[in-house]
Structure 1
Amino acid sequence: MAKVLIKSVTISNKGSAHHGKVVDVLVSGGEIKKIGKVTEEVKTTINGKGMILSSGWVDMRAWLADPGLEHKEDLESSRLAAADGGFTHVTALPNNQPVTQTKNDVAYIKGGNAGSLVQLHPIAAVTLGAKGEDLTEMIDLHTAGAIAFSDGLKPIWHSDILLKSLQYLQKFDGLLIDRPEDIHLNMFGVMNEGVESTMLGMKGMPNLSEDLIIQRNLSILAYSGGRLHLTCLSTEKSVALIKEARKKGLNVTCDIASYQPLLDDSALEGFDTSFKVNPPLRIQADNKALIKGLQDGTIDVIVSNHIPHDEECKKLEFDLADFGITSLQTVASNLSALSEKVDMHLLIEKVTTNPRNLLGLDAATIEEGAEADLTLFDPNAKWKLNSSSNKSKSVNSPYFNQELKGKAIAVFNNGQASVSSI
């Protein structure tokens, strides 16, 4: 990797003695060579004024669709989109064809990591086929390199499976990830249940479908012990339940999708399927609770919830379209918008330190001599996600062709660097 000099950049890395300081940073050969005042002239120099340099961002929830559905996304396009979005590490949900449930499946996802800037970490399925019925061989999958366990896009609907999984994973301190949803309460639902769904004449998905499962999960966690991470929270009560559980000493963590507190169900008035997500966009009261959860630390992590789809799955009547947004490249813009209400350094922790701790990844401290696993982020950069800048194979984003504020300018990892053309 050629030398890259970042001038006058703000460090956001609590483990570093340089946290909060404005310094020059010289990166060369995959290593942080110097921090402070650097006078050396190098070919690639970035004016980092107003930018933030942190450890490389980590996404705890992305569906990469490979193997089996490569027309939506593949491992190569996923890495390109992730690097452009500021991520050096991405966890891959197991809902491929076949589902990630064998040692060979895990090896396939990890196979390209040695020569890649972006490291992909497979999340293995909890149940065979992610059907919620029979447990996978989780010890073998852990040994093979699975970083966590989840049925991914599908909730763990079977209470006994949840209990046995939490007990089983304690053998190696494994992390169980579940997206709380009562699939029966949400059956045929397409958006948040409320005033907007009534006005639009569409079947709603009630807050209860999330809140009820969180209550169940927390009760089972209290009974079984173990480590539980609840993903993609969306309701006010969800946040309150997690906060109360923490006071009782339960080992539970949680995340939200970066777009969730920024959009509400009024966005669906135009029947734009780009806004069709699960959990659905809720109301302002829920969004305010999510913001408060970010501020007070109840919400540990921010994820992309990247779910790419081809046009055949999205350009349909609203009730027939698939759920999901392609979002690896727009998390940075969402963080910029969220920073109007939440301290930016706190937001950065939720895509760096916190997910690294939960997944057992290296801390990536910003110090001289350390390996360069870094993300350079400009909260004020203006750009557009369009056909020329899009790195994903899919275009199902409500932000497509809009001017956005906030962009990852460069990423460094595994002896490699990628610098944005902006």
Structure 2
Amino acid sequence: MLARELEQLGGEDIGILRRGVSFKGDQRLLYSANIWCRTALSILKPLGDFRFDTRDDFYGQMREISWPELFPPEKTISVIATAHDSTVFNNTMFLAQLSKDAIVDLFNEKLGRRPDVSTANADIRIVVNVQGDNCKVSLDSSGEALFKRGYRRSGGQAPINEVLAAGLIMLSGWDLKSPFLDPMCGSGTFSIEAAMMSARMAPGAERKVFGFSHWHDFDRELFTEEQEKAKGQKQAVQASIIASDLKGQMLDIARQNAMHAGLLGSIHFQKNDFFSYHPKEKNGWVLLNPPYGHRMNNQDVRALYIHIGDALKNRFSGYKAGIISADLDSMKHLGLKPSHRYSVYTGPLKATFNIYELFEGNRKEFVTQKKTNPPLRGKNTRRDERFNEKKSFGSNRRG
């Protein structure tokens, strides 16, 4: 998903990594990626990649990077360090400290001044990743994590991350125009992210400060130009988006969050019990993040999931349902066979996100009907749609 977003923005040499995506581009792309990407937590700019044998060797290699040419000494810094399979560093706090020492010592030597260290809200965030005897050093161009869109001032018991919510909506295959239901809306993240996507609202269009804002090479004119282009893409929400919850308090929170996002009038909020809800539209998408495990306060989780499955089968025929849960065992009790299954993480918890095609009658009849009456599209239609979407996106944003 992130690779596709970057491709649409004009990224080149895109590569899929274990927990990220690599790409190449110019300064304009760096700015637009931070403004537009919905599924990125942060965007890092590589500074160096080196091998080392000892701590002294590591310290010397870190000083080879021209830190004073990247940002001024008046800025505050923090170092985020990770280490895996290293015989030199078995303590990431020491790794971060040694990295910081190398940086500030170089500033003192070159300028006679050094940046202060800040453990929270630092201007400059330096990412140091050690894998074995190899080190990669990057600058975090985003600064504050990109999932912090700015609209969620309060959340529910276990609010879903904005980046994860956007990614799940993309995985669900929602077309941005069909009805979208969020019947256990909580703080409203699914609904708000769906509305932003349908309205072509760039997540970072209103954000004032990114990590790159503190760099020497920050081009304010170029950044402002990219933000204004992004704001010009905004349109009216093209779909009926309904957010409902049984708890009035949660609906109030969801409404407040939608108001902060500028989307209060684009989402229909309703106080409803999912288990008695009857959708008015015959077709659409429904996304659920039901309670699980410790969130249930010792209630019968299995019975809940059986009840959810029955409700979907009996009242949501014609819909596609997406359900995320970290309770993999309870998902089996939905009584539904997923058409797609994805492994994801919600915070530190491994979870599954399943897509279900809901239909009347038995599955054999449904599958037979799909084979007899396939969608009216050619073999290469999906590829053509992606190409046209990319072409339109590029011309509208840069033309």
Normalised by the size of structure 1, how large is the TM-score? 0.29
Larger Rg: 2
- Kindly indicate which of the two structures has a greater share of residues assigned to helix: 2
- Give the number of the structure with larger relative contact order, counting CA–CA contacts within 8 Å between residues 6 or more apart: 1
